[in-house]
Amino acid sequence: MTMDALLMAAGSGTRFGAPLPKQYLPLLGRPVIRHAAEALLREGMVRRILPVVAAGEEARVAALLDGLPIAPPVPGGATRAASVRAGLEALAADPPDLVLVHDAARPVIPAGTIAALRAALASAPGAIPAQPVADTLKRGAHGRIVETVPREGLYRAQTPQGFRFGPLLAAHRAGDDAATDDAALLEAAGLPVALVPGAESNVKITWPEDLARVEAHLAARLV
């Protein structure tokens, strides 16, 4: 079974607010996106990585990932889902059996995650790493609590998310550009998606303070 990976890097990092999109910022001497690409390759199961980038950034990203098994970067779209669809359409010329979709803003993939996803894909068309919610959850409106939402059975979805290629491409062609992850499109199509263990070290860099958290995980080798 061949497995390729889409590395999603076409976002602009508005919440982070740096002059550069967060995936290009330095982290322990290497750009965040290079950490993410190396993490995808570490378990030895990914054949090649296709970076999906903002239009015009193709050459810069190819240089940042120099020496790694990447396909020529392709331009993404206005939403993450549109960007993933662009990547899947590019892979469709020589489709893998399985595809991982990973955020370039997640530089840490805990050891064993990709093997767990791959194993889960033997019995389901999709699988994602997820962390149980730890905080007590409140629904609020106008500065007041409306209700406490039971957190039992609630998870935070992480990436890489793994899929059989055909069902994911079909779900994206039929799907909704507002979906914030790929599992949601399989769910909408009524297809089962398995949960495998996530980890606190798999931080999605969103706000400036996330960079220090990731650095601590990498420095402590809590990956």
Per the structure block, which two tokens stand in for 109? Answer: 């993939």
Q: Which pair of tokens denotes residue 116?
A: 């767990």
Shortest Cβ contact with ligand CTP: which residue?
A: 11
Four-CA torsion 100, 101, 107, 111, nearest 10 degrees:
-30
Q: Could you say which of Mg ion, ligand CTP, none residue 123 binds, taking C-beta under 5 to 8 angstroms by partner kind?
A: none
Number of residues that bind ligand CTP (CB under 6 A): 23
Whether residue 160 is preceded by a cis peptide bond, meaning omega within 30 degrees of 0, is yes
CB of 104 to ligand CTP, least distance (A): 4
183 is a contact residue toward ligand CTP (CB under 6 A):
no
- 9 contributes a contact to ligand CTP by CB under 6 A: yes
Least separation in angstroms between CB 23 and ligand CTP: 5
The listed partner (ligand CTP, Mg ion, none) that binds 23, CB under 5 to 8 Å by sort, is ligand CTP
Q: Which of 3, 8, 65, 116 binds ligand CTP (CB under 6 A)?
A: 8
H/E stretch holding 219 reads helix 209-219
CA atoms within 13 A on the CB side of 51: 31
The residue within the footprint of ligand CTP, chosen from 24, 51, 73, 80 (CB under 6 A), is 80
Task: Give yes or no for residue 14 binding ligand CTP (CB under 6 A).
Answer: yes
How far is CA 69 from each of CA 41, 55, 161, 171, rounded to the nearest angstrom? 9, 21, 20, 27
The reply to whether 148 sits near ligand CTP by the rule CB under 6 A is no
Q: Which does 79 bind (CB under 5 to 8 A by kind): ligand CTP, Mg ion, none?
A: ligand CTP
Q: Which two tokens stand for residue 103?
A: 């955020």
Locus of tokens 């015009």: 56
Instruction: Write down the least CB distance from residue 50 to ligand CTP, Å.
Output: 12
Tell whether residue 117 is a contact of ligand CTP (CB under 6 A).
no
**What is the 3-state secondary structure of 159-185?**
CCEEEEHHHHHHHHHHCCCCCCCCHHH
Give contact residues for ligand CTP (rule: CB under 6 A).
Answer: 8-16, 21, 23, 52, 76-80, 83, 103-105, 204, 206
